[in-house]
Every structure is written in C-alpha cells, then in structure tokens.
Amino acid sequence: MAIIRVYSFYSYVGEEFTSLFFPNKLKTTQMEIKIEFTIEPCEKENVKAIVDGINEYNLSKVSAIADIWTPLEFVAKDENGIEIGGILAGLGYWNGLEIKILWVKDSHRRKGVGTRILKHVEKIAKEKGAKISMLDTFDFQAEGFYLKNGYKPIGEIKDFPEGHRRIYFSKKLV
C-alpha cells in the first residue's frame, strides 16, 4: 500500500503577509490518502497500456508532427549474406531520429561500415522531416566515432559503469 502525504499551506489574513515571507508562521495540515495497488512483471498488454499512457500524456502537452514511432532498422551483410553490422533506430512523434543501437562486427570496424550505416539512416530520417538525431554510447564503445560523424556531446553520467562514462549525443540534421 502506498501512502501519499498532502500538505496544505495557509496564508494569514489581515495585516500579515503570506507564509512565504514568514515561514515561522506557516500552518500545515496533513492528510493521508491510501491507495492500494500491486506491482507485477509486465505482460505484452501491460507494455501497450504503459506506452499508450505516456503517449497520451505527452501528446496532451505537445502535438505530434509524425507517427508515434517509425522504425528505421537496417542490417549490413557481407558478400556471403552474413550480418556485419546494423542499426536499430526510429523517428518519434516529434520527428527526431533516435538511435538505439548501432553495431559493427569487430572484423569490419574502422572500414567505413558504421559510417555508411549511420549516413544511410540519417538520410532517410532527413527525407522524412527529421531535424535532429540523438543517441547515447559509452566511452569504451563509440565516443570517437560519433564525434567524427558530427555529433556533439550534450551530457554524460560519470563512473557508469564504474571507471567509465555514458555519453549522450545529438546532431542537427539540417
């Protein structure tokens, strides 16, 4: 059971100012609202309800300019049809390119495969109206790769995982 505490703040009437100016004159009342609920592992229909719920909330605040989610997912294969890289990305309802995963097989790194995959998805995103791209990576993954491809760091979490950094990037596509 969750307990939500609600505090009410009262102002004094007459010649005295509100409690904002005189915190020692603040009167509070406390009221408990009990809400009973359970927390369980998600089933497929639960995931849909969660996604629909956040989409409904977000779109009540800022109108969509694109479909809810347009996947942009591609695989790169060698001459034998073996996967050597790929990207899992998409366009959200505000038309930003969100790159979730870009992977290149070790034997094909530093040969332009990753850049070609990235440029391919950026081109398609721009054609669909995207003006910005965003992603995150770790310092031991592809920090230099994204810097080389025009991405700018916009934030980081230090010491995650321990001794490393998680870096957030964005790039204007216009």
Q: Is residue 50 part of a domain?
A: no
Query: In the predicted model, is pLDDT for residue 18 greater than 50?
Result: no
135 exposure class (CB count in 10 Å sphere: 0-12, 13-18, 19+): buried
Q: How many domains does the chain have?
A: 2
Look at residue 11 and tell me if it is in a domain. yes
Per DSSP, which regions of 62-151 are E strands?
Answer: 69-77, 83-92, 97-104, 132-138
* Residue 130 sits in the same domain as residue 82: yes
- State CA 23 to chain mean position distance: 39
54 phi and psi angles, rounded to 5 deg = -70, -35
Residue 11: pLDDT over 80 = no
In-domain check, residue 118: yes
The residue segments making up the domain with residue 100 are 60-172
Statement to judge: residues 9 and 86 lie in one domain? no
pLDDT digits (tens, 9 = 90+) for 105-146: 999 999 999 999 999 999 999 999 999 999 999 999 999 999
CA dihedral 44, 48, 53, 59 (to 10 degrees): 160
- pTM attached to this predicted model: 0.76
The CATH number given to whatever domain includes residue 165 is 3.40.630.30
Q: Which residue has the higher pLDDT, 126 or 3?
A: 126
Q: What is the pLDDT of residues 61-79, one digit of tens each?
A: 999 988 789 999 999 999 9
